Amino acid sequence: MTSGLNLLLSAPLSARLGMLMVLLVLLAAIFAPVIAPYGETQIAGDVWLSGSAQHLLGTDNLGRDLFTRLLFGARNTIAIAFLITALSFLMGTLLGFLAATVSGWTDQLLSRIIDILMAFPTLIFALMILSVVGTSIPALVVVIALLDSTRVFRLSRAVAMDIEVMEFVEAARLRGEGLWWLMRHEILPNAMPPLVAEFGLRFCFVFLFIAALSFLGLGIQPPTADWGSMVRENAGAITFGIYTPLWPATAIAFLTVGVNLVVDWFLHLASGLED
Amino acid sequence: MPPLLKIRNIVIEGQTGENWEPIVKGLDLTLHKGEILGLIGESGAGKSTLGLAAMCYTRPGCRIASGSIVFDGQELFGMPESQLRNLRGARIAYVAQSAAANFNPAHRLIRQYAEGPVQHGLMTTVEAEANAVAIYEQLLLPDPENIGYRFPHQVSGGQLQRAMVAMAMSCRPDIIIFDEPTTALDVTTQIEVLAAIREITARYDTAAIYITHDLAVVAQIADRIMVLRNGDLVEENDARKMLAHPQQSYTRDLLAVRSFAKKALDADSEVILDVADVTASYNGQDNVLEDISLQVRRGRTVALVGESGSGKSTLARVITGLLPPSSGSIVFQGEELPPAMKSRRREELRRLQMIYQMPDTALNPRQKIRMIIGRPLQFYFGLSAQEQEQRTLELLAQIELPEEYIDRYPTELSGGEKQRVCIARALAARPALIICDEVTSALDQLVAEGILRLLLDLQRKLDVSYLFITHDLATVKAIADEIVVMRDGRIVEQGPRNEILTPPHHDYTDLLLSSVPQMDPDWLDNLLAEREAA
């Protein structure tokens, strides 16, 4: 993997900055129990205190330490968003490649089902399902992953169709190779650049989507800390001129910008490879 | 009289990563009024780059580093872009290789013709369109009054290329640069275009730079020829003198291309592929192939010849089972093959392999040679990783590539080397028959010749049969034992090579054969006179 390392070293400044930002958040998430001065749900002081030596960023609406909750929130938000994105890519690319490789009726059937799923506004659809099945974390992961996989399906099907018409795929077919080989060894390696770029973008969207759901009260449930619900819980404070809700909002913006800086670079690389 | 164009000691560089590497290494070029100069060389010789430099233009990623380009007394190198734009198109015009890719498909031909003269303020739209009709007539385009009102996709490839020549002529330039204008055309249409170019440049006394890789083509057109290689001049001389007495060995190699021919084999071997009365269509109604019957014998080569659209590649798709025929049978080594590829057994697939025209797209760019050649070994014979490696090295030796290529990616290989890897991949399956679909047409002539010799050599050693699809009759002469001539989805004529290549021919075979350019500067004149008389 020396080529991978060289690639990282050749990254432009913006991408390096993005990587640094993501790395910072990841470290905070991993070492949250070590760094955090208080417990995740521990009531440590008065309500909505401003920043001080005891409470770096002050306290929230119940008097919990905001800095501590930001660290733990990073854990939950990132882990869940990553899980959802990975799951949606697994389903989306598998079905997308299948539709492109088998084509015919399989393609028609899959594409139309996806069309139906995409016809619903995602937030409404997610609200509907979550209010039926209840708002547990597994339900959240599966529902958002399913909704997100529709877009991944569209992309991976389109990319695979471009590759599918290449003669090396025909050569593999003529050799008698099965579907799995065609998808895994002929199509996937050539579809990687756009898919990786899309992965980064979708990760951000998922992350914002969870924040939106949490804000509406259907995302990650209290007392578990996550950035979206932290904004919601403390939103009232802004009317009193207290900064508390701005901190989790800043954290969301920070990670989103960081991931996007890296993704922009991936997109650039991917388009360069197509030349 | 001073020359019209004088390029002196020009260096053109191309960007690779951070570095600038010279592509054209200090060449001189002189062009007089009305003179046609042929630039010839293989890909990477710098001929197109030098040609474009005549209008002080470079492709993106290239730059003119130093030198001087004097056109009609003005120095172009260093001239502001706005002034250069006034010259380009108006006084120096350009005709690209693929007219189909260079016409805007959304506009009618005549509108694109008028664009230049109107833009340069030479004519009004009405004048330009009237003018277009006159030029179309001179270029012998059918229905010159109306053809301009068609869209690019509504005329044939040869007509489109002539329309492009007309477009270059629209401002009556002093110089036209022709960049491989006939390379993408069939031999029969190539003649129309060549004749049209010669006629129009002579009529208006236009000077031209004619860029091509085909010495026989340039022999018909050029007064003087420059042979380029790797950005350097190999040889420059009067066209007739060069053809008669080439000075350099490289020029002699180019002249001698395809002069070898396979020896006729007399003893008949068994029939391994028997295609009988095959009819096929893509939509179930219009037959692309009709009543095709042909046989391929063990260790022999059958060449399938025809122009584009004659159905040769479709026949390959039918034999491989990618397009099941609507009727007819395919018997391979004594067993009838199921029509659809999906119902064929692995063993049946193994014995029938295919090599494609474009080695770039036929090899997965993300797989190393080790995997590309190793996979069929594993797939068909279940060889272990170690056995695969050993056999792959043997195959690399057979295709005359060094052992260390095993860990390279296809993008690290040249076009000819990639095609060799495609051959090795086919051979790995130990096939009885290999279908070769235009395997040399994307390659330079000397490289193509190497591939043909390799294929012949392998056939002698391995007793493999080839079904060789090509539009190039020179290739046919070199490798075929039998020839099948196709036109519009039907077989026009078939038989042993010497029988087909010696007169009397079928009319269509005769047309194809007589259209292949010869290394004789008078060939086109004689041919046109002959056809005129007939």
Closest to B432 (Cα-Cα) out of B332, B316, B322:
B332
Question: Which residues, including other chains, have CB under 8 Å from residue A220's CB and lie 6 or more apart?
Answer: A76, A77, A80, A137, A140, A210, A214, A226, A228, A229
Q: Per residue of chain B (534 residues), what is the pLDDT tens digit? A: 788 999 999 999 888 777 888 888 889 999 999 899 999 888 878 888 899 999 889 888 888 989 999 998 889 888 898 889 888 888 999 998 877 788 998 999 999 999 989 989 888 999 999 999 999 988 888 888 889 999 988 888 888 888 999 999 999 999 999 998 887 788 888 888 888 898 889 999 999 999 988 888 888 889 999 999 888 899 999 988 888 888 888 888 887 776 677 776 666 788 999 999 999 988 877 888 999 999 999 999 999 998 887 888 899 999 999 999 999 999 999 899 999 988 999 999 999 999 998 888 899 998 999 999 999 999 999 999 999 999 999 999 999 999 999 999 998 888 889 999 999 999 999 999 999 998 988 888 888 888 999 999 999 999 999 999 988 887 888 889 999 999 989 999 998 888 888 877 888 888 888 888 887 888 888 888 888 887
**Mind spelling out the 3-state secondary structure of B114-148?**
HHHHHHCCCCCHHHHHHHHHHHHHHCCCCCHHHHC
Cα B472 from chain centroid? 9
| Cβ-contact B55, B90 below 8 angstroms | no
B164 shares a domain with B37: yes
Tally of domains within chain B: 3
Q: Residue A272: which pLDDT band, with cuts at 50, 70 and 90?
A: low
The answer to the question of residue B249 being in a domain is yes
| Cβ-contact B11, B64 below 8 angstroms | yes
* Cα distance between residue A227 and residue B212, in whole Å: 65
Closest to B445 (Cα-Cα) out of B291, B159, B250, B306:
B250
Residue of A nearest to B351 (CA): A175
The answer to the question of residue B273 being in a domain is yes
B444 shares a domain with B394: no
* Cα distance between residue A123 and residue B411, in whole Å: 45
Q: Is the pLDDT of residue A176 over 70?
A: yes
Nearest to A190 among B344, B349, B366 (CB): B366
The DSSP output letter for B430 is -
The sign one gets for the Cα dihedral A96, A102, A107, A113 is: negative
Per-residue confidence (pLDDT) for residue B258, from 0 to 100: 62
Phi, psi of B484 (to 5 degrees): -120, 120
Last residue of a domain, one of B408, B429, B450: B429
CA distance A195 to chain B (A): 15
Q: Which A residues in the span 12-41 are in contact with B, Cβ-Cβ below 8 Å? A: none
The DSSP output letter for A187 is I
| Phi/psi-derived region of residue B72, left when phi > 0, alpha when psi is between -120 and 50, beta in every other case | left
CA distance B364 to chain A (A): 6
Per-residue confidence (pLDDT) for residue A133, from 0 to 100: 86
| Cβ-contact B50, B4 below 8 angstroms | no
Per-residue confidence (pLDDT) for residue A198, from 0 to 100: 86
Chain A positions touching B353 (Cβ under 8 A) are: 174
* Cα distance between residue B136 and residue B182, in whole Å: 18
Please tell me whether residue B298 adopts helix, strand or coil conformation: coil
Helix (H) / strand (E) containing B377: helix B369-381
Question: Which residues, including other chains, have CB under 8 Å from residue B192's CB and lie 6 or more apart?
Answer: B140, B158, B162
B333 shares a domain with B305: yes
* Interface check A178 vs B, CB under 8 A: no
Which residue is listed with tokens 């006629």?
B199
| Cβ-contact A144, A126 below 8 angstroms | yes
The sign one gets for the Cα dihedral B204, B205, B211, B217 is: positive
Q: ipTM strictly over 0.90?
A: no
The sign one gets for the Cα dihedral B339, B341, B345, B346 is: positive
* Cα distance between residue B471 and residue A207, in whole Å: 58
Closest to A130 (Cα-Cα) out of A115, A151, A147, A114:
A147
Nearest to B358 among A167, A173, A175 (CB): A167
Q: Is the pLDDT of residue A44 over 80?
A: no
* Cα distance between residue B499 and residue B506, in whole Å: 11
* Cα distance between residue B174 and residue A164, in whole Å: 47
Instruction: Check A166 against B356: CB less than 8 A apart.
Output: no
Rounded to the nearest 10°, the torsion over CA B363, B369, B373, B374 is -130
Which residue is listed with tokens 């095609």?
B419
Q: What is the mean pLDDT of residues A58-74?
A: 85
In one letter, which amino acid is A168? F
* Interface check A168 vs B, CB under 8 A: yes
* Cα distance between residue A165 and residue A148, in whole Å: 27
Nearest to B379 among A167, A170, A175 (CB): A175
Instruction: Check A174 against B349: CB less than 8 A apart.
Output: yes
Last residue of a domain, one of B429, B450, B469: B429
Please tell me whether residue B63 adopts helix, strand or coil conformation: strand
The answer to the question of residue B530 being in a domain is no
Per-residue confidence (pLDDT) for residue A1, from 0 to 100: 43
Residue of B nearest to A192 (CA): B366
CA distance A1 to chain B (A): 15
Chain B positions touching A192 (Cβ under 8 A) are: 366
> DSSP characters for B220-259?
HH-SEEEEEETTEEEEEEEHHHHHHS--SHHHHHHHTTT-
Q: What is the mean pLDDT of residues A172-195?
A: 91
Question: Which residues, including other chains, have CB under 8 Å from residue B308's CB and lie 6 or more apart?
Answer: B157, B186, B471
Burial of B259 (0-12, 13-18, 19+ CB in 10 A): exposed
Q: Is the pLDDT of residue A150 over 50?
A: yes
B316 shares a domain with B418: no
Last residue of a domain, one of B198, B231, B255: B255
Token pair listed for B259? 């002069």
Convert B22-53 to b/e letters by CB count within 10 Å (16 or more is b). Answer: ebbebbebbbeeebbbbbbbbeebbbbbbbbb
B132 shares a domain with B115: yes
* Cα distance between residue A113 and residue A250, in whole Å: 38
B231 shares a domain with B316: no
Per-residue confidence (pLDDT) for residue A273, from 0 to 100: 46
Please tell me which residue, B519 or A21, carries the higher pLDDT value.
Answer: A21
Instruction: Check A174 against B354: CB less than 8 A apart.
Output: yes
Residue of A nearest to B341 (CA): A174
B330 shares a domain with B467: yes
Q: What is the mean pLDDT of residues A60-71?
A: 86
All structural domains of chain A with their residue ranges: 15-32+54-274
Domain boundaries, position B483: 261-351+430-502
The answer to the question of residue B290 being in a domain is yes
B334 shares a domain with B453: yes
Q: Which residue in A7, A167, A173 has the most chain B C-beta atoms within 10 A of its own C-beta, making it the best mutation to test that interface?
A: A167
B66 shares a domain with B163: yes
In this structure, the strands spanning B36-40 and B207-212 are parallel
* Cα distance between residue B400 and residue A188, in whole Å: 31
* Cα distance between residue B158 and residue B201, in whole Å: 18
B287 shares a domain with B161: no
Q: Identify the architecture of domain A15-32+54-274 in CATH.
A: Orthogonal Bundle (1.10)
B184 shares a domain with B166: yes
Residue of A nearest to B411 (CA): A273
Q: What is the CATH number of the domain that holds B93?
A: 3.40.50.300
Per-residue confidence (pLDDT) for residue A50, from 0 to 100: 77
Instruction: Check A175 against B375: CB less than 8 A apart.
Output: yes
* Cα distance between residue B329 and residue B276, in whole Å: 5
B182 shares a domain with B148: yes
